[in-house]
Structure formats: structure tokens, C-alpha cells
Chain A
Amino acid sequence: MLQLLWTVPALPAAGFVVLALLNRRLSRRAAALIGAGFVGLSAVVAMLIAVSFIASPPPGHAYHQVLWTWFDTGGLRPQIAFYLDAMSVIFILVITVVGFLIHLYSTEFMERDEGFTRFFMYMNLFVASMLVLVLADNLLLLYLGWEGVGLCSYLLIAFWQKDVKNVYAGRKAFIITRVGDTALIVGLFLLFTQLHTLEIQPLMAGAAKNWATGSGVAVAAAALLLGGAVGKSAQLPLQTWLPDAMAGPTPVSALIHAATMVTAGVYLIARTNVLFTLAPDVRLAVAIIGTVTLLYACFSALAQHDIKRVLAYSTMSQIGYMFLALGVAGWSAAIFHFMTHAFFKALLFLAAGVVIEALGGEHDIFKMGGLRRKLPVAFWAFIIGAASLSALPLITDGFYSKDLIIETSLGAVDGNAWLWLGALAGSLLTSIYAFRLVFVVFFGDQQTPVTLRPRWRMQLPLVVLSVLSVVGGLVWLPGWMGGFHPLETFLDTALPVTQTVASSFAYTGVSALLTSLVAVVGVALATVWLVESRAALKDFAARPTPHALQEFWLHGWGFDWLYEHVFVIPVKWFARVSRNDLVEPAVSGIAWLNVQAWRALSASQNGLLRVYIGVAGVGLAIIVAFVVLR
């Protein structure tokens, strides 16, 4: 069964090729069938592989499949080869299953859009690239998937390309993630020059053997990889592209946030955990970036009034939690949160998509309201998703993973109280903004009439993801709930065990109690502010200080403004003043010379046959004379 591993990324790639070749000749029905079908097949194969992997683990708990040698030059000999271990099993399962549900949903969501085939073409390529990324056995192949994901995000964010705003958003995502990618590729160069291979397992073994903990080269390599991860996963300071990426169709946002793209950074750090273990300073930076980002994003989310931007900031903050977990060496906890987050974030986005479609493309939450009776499925899906996002205790999957991260942030050897407090505060804010969304969108008075109701292809993914969002966390229960943790046991075959202080305050149960408490308090606060005393809240928000603060958070703490003034405007200015420098005449001189030569040559083409013959005769005479008289 494991031999079929190559088909997991190959099937969506095949879907892309078929759709690209037949593009305009396909009916919508056929395009939908091919687009969703290939990803669905890939999901089936991934599930079979997972079952066979768990039932009879391959030797060493890892399966290595070499397809062919990519190229062989100058000592660099990367192979097209896949590496499957417990971590990649989780990733391919989530990517293909959630990816398939999103594809199924899109077949109805995109029904009336132009470029239906093109949409599925990009989506399939997106899924294929992400699968290559998580299955690659060497960093170069991983980088191929990494860039493929970047390309597809650009194509899909700018999918509705007739509105120039969308195109700018796509370009922004591409350029900002490129900053991180540059760091990543430099990191790969560094690793290759130092250890002479890019194959991940030998590379990690080599790094562990040759580099001392905290040595300069290990720190540099880890920091460069972190740069790539920060860009792709939209963490501070490269986070500004993610809210604007909401310009794409809603299923694209779901795919970017849940299954592909933003979790690539988490994967990269977990995959190269040896390097990060060797560089404790960089790991501390990972934890701090994660904590700061999660708080930053929570505050920003509180002030947004575009439903998708709230969700975008919530993704940023949940990825922040994953980074926090990675930073304190809670590798498995991060993967667990990746999994639960994929379920509830896809659910939230797809439910939001139903609302947006039903109201004819309305994004502003204050123009929604009172939708709980009109759109019951979306309402319940959204409630479950929001509860999971806020980590409401026991009944949601988000609770188990977030609680684990919060406990680890204090109880791990590298954890500390500041990280723990930050994570708890983030959890409180998360439940406030999540339920703010629920109350504003689904309760109160109806503002916009419902014009469209979802049919089964949009409802089924919601139902499936709702179920997963409830039961998904039960694979890793905390110690005080009986300690049933098959996922941990499974991931321990691939990732190092987190070193914890067993006597820590984190494991007394008080931390879990606090986590539950802040989530409930957050929901209660949202209820009080938005249902009981909404008028008072409005009055408060109209005062100068809260209003200014809200504006500040609404614009993401002014990061766009800052980057505009620090980078964009100086670069534009420099481009303008260097327009007439010394190089310019030289370059345009070459162009001028070419134009003159073109003029002269085209003048000789006067169209008169007699002149041509004359010139040919003279040329012949010269050649004959030359040959005879030589």
C-alpha cells in the first residue's frame, strides 16, 4: 500500500494537467468532476496509506520512496523522493481530506463565476504543491513545493483579476512571502555548503553530529529557516499579506488557512527541529514571535468589520500558538493544533462563505445580523467553529490542542510564565472576538435579505467539518482526563519528545482550569457587550480614545503604513532619481543604435525586384571575381 505514496501528490497534479490542457473545452460539470475528483482520489489513497502505516509501521517508522534523480551537478544530487513518517501522515491526511471538502464546496460556490475551470486548475496545483512540500525528502524538493504554494496563492488571491485591488492583494502576498523565501533559500545554500547534502534526514544527523549547541552556524541556519517560515506563515513582521489575501474567493481563503500555505512554516520548523534544538536562542525567538503575533492578531481581529478579515487575523493568531509550541519544543503539540485548527478554520471560512453568498457578496458584519433562522446549517457550523476557535472546554477540538500548548508553554523545560500568560490572554481575546462575530452576524435584527440558500454540496462539507471539529481533539486527551493519547504516541515516532518539568504548576490542573475559564469568560463578555448592552458599547466606541484605538487595530497596528513609508516610498523615490544616471544614456544608446540600424536595413528593402536582382548580380560578380582572381 505504501508504494502508492507517489500518487498522493501526483493525482492532484494530474488534475491540474488535465484541466490546463482541456481548459475551455470542458463543461462546468466535467471541470468540477475532474477538479474535485482527483483531490478526492488523492484523499482516499492518503487514508489507505495512513491505515496501512498505522497497522503495520514500516521499519524505523518511516517510508522512503525514491522515484528518480532530479539532476546531478557539482556534488548536488537531489532526488525526486518522498519521505513518509508520522508527521507527514498527519499532514497529507489533513491536506487531502480538508482539501477535498473545500473542492466539493467550491463546485457549488463558484458555480456562477467566470473561469470555473481555471479556478479548479489552480486549486489542484495548490494541493499538489503542498503535498510535495510535506512529503519531500530533501530541502530542494521541499523548496519546489514551497514556491509552488506561493505561486498558487498569488494566482488564487488575484483570481477575480478584473478588479485591480485583488491583483494588488495577490502581488502583495507574493512579494512579502518572497522576502521570507529569500531567507529560506540562503539558509539552504548555507546548509549545503556546510554539510554537503540537502536530504533532510542525513542533514539533520550531520548537523547534530558536527555542530555544537548554540554554535554560530547552527544559529544562522535556524534563523534563516525561521525567516522563511515567518514569511509563509504570516507571523510578525511579515504578516501584512494575510488580511489582504482575503481578496480571493472564500474557498481559497479556507484552503490557504486550513490545509495549505500558512501551515508550511510550522511544518518546516517541525521538520528541521534538530537545527532548532541546536539553536536555543532562535527557538526562544520562535516562541516570542508566536506569542507577540498571537496577541497582535487578537487585538486586530477585535476591531475588524469584514467577516473574512476577522478570520484572517484569527488564523494569524492560531499559527502564533503553533509557533509558541514549536518555540518551547512542543513539536507534537504544534502538529496537533495544526490538525484541529485545519478543521475548525476550514469550517469557519466555509460557513462564512455561505453567509457571504447568501447576502449577495456582503462582507461587512454590521450589514449582516439575524441570520440564525435563515441559515441554520451555517449558523450551527459557525457556532461550532467559533467555540472550537475559542477553545470552549471539553466539547471542542480546539480546547484540547490549545490547552496542550498553553500547558506546554509553562511546563516545558524552555517554557516560562510570560509565554504562558500571553497565551492565556490570547485565549481570552480569541473567545471575545469569535463570539463577537457570532452575535453580530447571526443574532439581532436582519439587515440584508437572504437571496441564496446553500445546497448539499456546500452543506455536506460543513457537516463533516463540524463533526471533525467536535471529535477531532479526542485523539490526545490531557493527563487529568485519563491520558488517552494515541496521537502523541504516533507522533513520538517522528518527533522528539518534549522535555517537561513534571512538577510544574502547568500540570496541576489549574492551568487547564484557567484555560477553560478564560474561554467561558470571553464568551460571557461578548454576550454582555454585544447582546445585553450593545448601545452602551457603541457609545463607548464613539469616545475619542477607544475610537482611535479601534482605528489603529483596524489597520493592523499601522504595519502597512510603516512598510509603505520605510520601504515602498524610498524605493520608488530612488527609482525616480536614478532614472537619469550615467548608466541610462549607455543603455538607451544601445537601443538608439539598434533603431538606426533597423532604419538603414529596412530602407534597402524597397520592394523593387530589379534592385534586388542588381544587388544579387553585383554580389555574384564579386564572389566570382574573388574566386577566379585569387
Chain B
Amino acid sequence: MAAVSLDHGLILAAILFVIGFVGLLTRRNLIVVLACIEIMLNAAGLAFVVAGARWGRADGQVMFLFVLAMAAAEVAVGLALAIRFRHSLGRLDVDDADEMKG
């Protein structure tokens, strides 16, 4: 199996991160926003794994497990938030939650 080079892995992670970030900035649906955050998290996880493989260390994969666990927790909280959001505002548009504006 041909090893994936560090550069390719990091470029892919960067592309994924930017996709997630742009989605975060442009999409207004709360579910999609959560999905974008998920993509960004996985981009960071990918960077860990690739870097760990480059130096032949297990740390990168261990970190990825942490990222996974955190992402799971985040999804649980995020989805609960989405349900409350829908309940109180009737829609899932994040721009509706602008009551804190100065």
C-alpha cells in the first residue's frame, strides 16, 4: 500500500477545513451548521492522523479518538440545542437568534 505523503494529507485536511468554515459562514440552517462544524473537526483529526503516520507515532491516532469523543458530545448538545431552538423560534434559521445585538 502506497503511503500517503504528509503534504497530500495536510492539503486535504486544509481543503476540508475551509469547506467546513465557508459552510459555517454561508449556511443558515442550524443542522447544516452543525454538520459543517463536524467537517472541520474531522479535518483537524485528519491532520493529526497524517502527522502521526509521518513520524510513525501512535499519538496522532490517540488524539483522533479524543476528537471523535468530543465530536459525539458536541453533537448531543448541539442537537438538543437545535430542538430547543426549533421549539422557541419555530424555524431552524440561525439568523433568527439575534436578540443579543447591541
Contact = CB atoms under 8 A, between A and B. Distances in A.
Interface string B81-102: 0000000000000110111111
A587 interface: no
Contacts of B97: 607, 609
A610 B36 CA distance: 12
A93 to B, nearest CB: 65
A606 B99 CA distance: 9
B73 interface: no
B21 A606 contact: no
A608 B102 contact: no
Interface string B20-31: 010011101000
Interface in A554-578: none
A609 B28 CA distance: 10
Nearest to A602: B102
The majority secondary structure among interface residues of chain A is helix
Given A607-B97, A608-B95, A613 B102 contact: no
A603 interface: yes
A617 interface: yes
A608 B25 contact: no
Interface size class of B (residues with CB under 8 A): 10 to 19
Interface in A586-604: 601-604
B101 to A, nearest CB: 3
Given A607-B97, A607-B100, A610-B94, 11 more contacts: A602-B102, A604-B102, A605-B100, A605-B101, A606-B101, A606-B102, A608-B94, A608-B95, A608-B98, A610-B28, A613-B25
A544 to B, nearest CB: 72
Interface string A598-630: 000111111111100110010000000000000
Interface size class of A (residues with CB under 8 A): 10 to 19
A164 B3 CA distance: 90
Given A608-B95, A609-B97, A610-B95, A603 B24 contact: no
Among all A-B residue pairs, the 8 with the closest Cβ atoms: A607-B98, A602-B102, A607-B101, A605-B102, A606-B101, A607-B100, A614-B25, A609-B94
A609 B92 CA distance: 13
Given A609-B94, A610-B94, A610-B95, A603 B25 contact: no
A607 B99 contact: yes
A604 B100 CA distance: 11
Contacts of B95: 608-610
Interface string B28-70: 1000000000000000000000000000000000000000000
B97 to A, nearest CB: 7
Contact of A603 (B26, B94, B102): B102
A23 to B, nearest CB: 38
A601 B101 CA distance: 11
Contacts of A604: 102
B60 to A, nearest CB: 21
A311 to B, nearest CB: 61
A609 B26 CA distance: 11
Contacts of A606: 98, 101-102
A255 B15 CA distance: 85
Nearest to A605: B102
Contacts of A614: 25
Which residue among B21, B26, B102 has the maximum number of chain A CB atoms within 10 Å of its CB?
Answer: B102
